[in-house]
Amino acid sequence: MKKHLRVLSVGLALSVCVGSFPARAASSHFTDVPSTHWASGFINKMAEGGLIAGYGGGIYGPEDNFNIDQMATIICSALGAPQKNQNGYWAYGAVDYCVNTLKCLPSQGAITADNYAVPCTRELAYYMLMTSLGVSPEATGTPNNTLLPSDIPDYADIDTDYQQAVWKAYKAGLTVGVDDKLTFQPKALLDRAQAATMFVQAGWTKASEVASPVTEGMSVDEIYAALKATGDWNEVDNEIGGKRLVYKDRYTGNITVEVKDVMVGHIMEVTLYEKTLEGKGLIDYSAFKYPGRQVAKGILEKVFPTQSYDAYMGMKSVLLQETYEYGGFQYPSVLRWYDGREFLCGTSGGSHCLTIYISELNDEDAYNTDKAVIRSSSPPITAPMLVGVTMMSRLLSWTSGKSIKAP
């Protein structure tokens, strides 16, 4: 794949979808971004969420080029991924993570400032965004699922490796191009104001540390209360008594959280359902797609606040069904935590879903010394079928078996 980093003299102030502008801030975080600046609301929202900090001294540089390594840094900050300074290059860890782990950034050569502290094209920026973070439940764009590649006049000018990502960005409402013809101008360079706008439109406005300010040792009741307090969940009555939380965004509304007492003690049950169309089979796996995984990641970061990266990778391995054979059953990759908390994934009550069972932290006499386990199964299994499976440090019995219907 060729690099396309030549400078184009193109006005791109409206190069992202502008259907939902945040209100302009009454006071700005940056002296060079007055409240009258077209992107002030976007830039200040990113600053408040901890994803951007500017150059220092109150300077942001909204018209400056947005570099590839800066793009990588924001992505890693949003994910809570590890970043480190190495070989004298401040962005080494972020670039390395995007190139070699997320694989959202095609290698530009050795990880040095010479190769990555360079302006980012529009096509590369949207490719990196869509293949790493994707569209958050907090996205503000208006989806256009009927849009075709042929509707984008210069679609053929987009690098073939980036075309699908750009098309998805259009369909998600993250961009409408640079004019009323939907022209994309893929080789044009993104500036820092446009970059902030792009992330806000996609719904990524908070560094993971800002989004999940929790400490070690939260009980499942405290986690439930923390989730409820975010305002992102609706609390509803269960058919079998008690309450549960239902995620209320348009993408992942089929995720529920419940705290209950079962044979093994006080647990939290997180269920990701697949949506179905009656009589026609599965038509939407939204709870299993990236927005759903991000919601699950946020919950896991409350369960394992000191190991958010491991928790995220464990959830990813479960949802992607990276399996191996054991005792006649197929299981995904297994992760263990030595914090006295058990963690089990599996199906529930015959529903087509993924259910996460999280035991209470340091439950009296039960889980203090056991290794926590992440695990999934398909098809549904029962406790007797698990007897003798030595990879688990302690058997977690399944819940009462009553079916929980998807919302």
Domain carrying residue 289: 214-386
301-360 pLDDT, tens digit each = 666 665 555 555 555 554 443 223 333 333 333 333 333 445 555 544 445 566 676 766
pTM for the whole thing? 0.53
Do 195 and 172 fall into the same domain? yes
Give the residue from 164, 182, 209 where a domain finishes. 209
Q: What is the pLDDT of residue 298?
A: 72
CB 151 within 8 A of CB 182: yes
Do 119 and 175 fall into the same domain? yes
Low-confidence ranges of the chain (pLDDT < 70): 1-27, 82, 208-218, 249-253, 262-265, 273-294, 301-355, 357, 359-407
Q: What is the DSSP letter of 348?
A: E
Q: What is the pLDDT of residue 217?
A: 53
Q: What is the pLDDT of residue 251?
A: 61
DSSP symbols for 122-190? HHHHHHHHHHHT---TT--S---TT--GGGSTTGGGS-TTTHHHHHHHHHTTS---SSTT----TTSBP
| 30 inside domain | no
Do 371 and 242 fall into the same domain? yes
CA dihedral 34, 40, 41, 44 (to 10 degrees): -90
Do 139 and 244 fall into the same domain? no
Long-range contacts formed by 90-94: CB under 8 A, 24+ apart: 91/116, 91/117, 94/69
Q: What is the pLDDT of residue 57?
A: 85
Q: What is the pLDDT of residue 316?
A: 53
Do 242 and 191 fall into the same domain? no
| 192 inside domain | yes
Distance separating alpha carbons of residues 40 and 353, to the nearest angstrom: 42
Distance separating alpha carbons of residues 50 and 209, to the nearest angstrom: 8
Q: What is the pLDDT of residue 192?
A: 95
253 token code pair:
């509304």
Q: What is the pLDDT of residue 63?
A: 95
Do 121 and 263 fall into the same domain? no
Is-cis flag, bond preceding 379, omega within 30? yes
Residue written as token pair 């830039």: 43
